[in-house]
C-alpha cells in the first residue's frame, strides 16, 4: 500500500530520483505520526486535564 502511494505521488510530482522518493516516504511517515499524535491528544486530552485539576486541588 505504501509503495503504491509513494509511486503515485512520485509520478504526480515528477520525481525521478531515489532521493526524491525517499523524501516523499519521510513526509508520509511524518504526516502519519502527526495524525496519530493529534488523535491521541484528542482522546486523552480531557482525561489529563481532569487529572491535573484534581492533583492541583488536592495540593491546595
| Bigger pLDDT: 1 vs 29 | 29
pLDDT band at residue 34, thresholds of 50, 70 and 90?
A: very high
Per the structure, the count of domains in the chain is: 1
Q: What average pLDDT does range 43-56 have in this prediction?
A: 89
- 7: Cα within 13 Å, side-chain hemisphere: 4
Nearest alpha carbon to residue 6 among 19, 49, 22: 22
Please give the pLDDT value at position 32.
Answer: 93
| pLDDT at residue 36 tops 90 | yes
DSSP 16: -
C-beta atoms surrounding 45 within 10 Å: 10
Q: Which domain holds residue 40?
A: 2-59
Angle, CA of 6, 7 and 8, to the nearest 5°: 90
Please give the pLDDT value at position 22.
Answer: 80
Residue whose C-alpha cell is 491535573: 52
Amino acid at each position: 500500500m505504501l509503495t503504491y502511494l509513494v509511486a503515485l505521488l512520485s509520478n504526480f510530482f515528477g520525481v525521478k530520483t531515489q532521493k526524491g522518493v525517499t523524501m516523499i516516504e519521510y513526509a508520509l511517515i511524518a504526516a502519519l505520526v502527526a495524525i496519530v499524535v493529534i488523535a491521541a491528544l484528542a482522546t486523552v486530552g480531557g482525561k489529563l486535564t481532569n487529572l491535573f485539576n484534581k492533583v492541583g486541588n488536592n495540593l491546595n
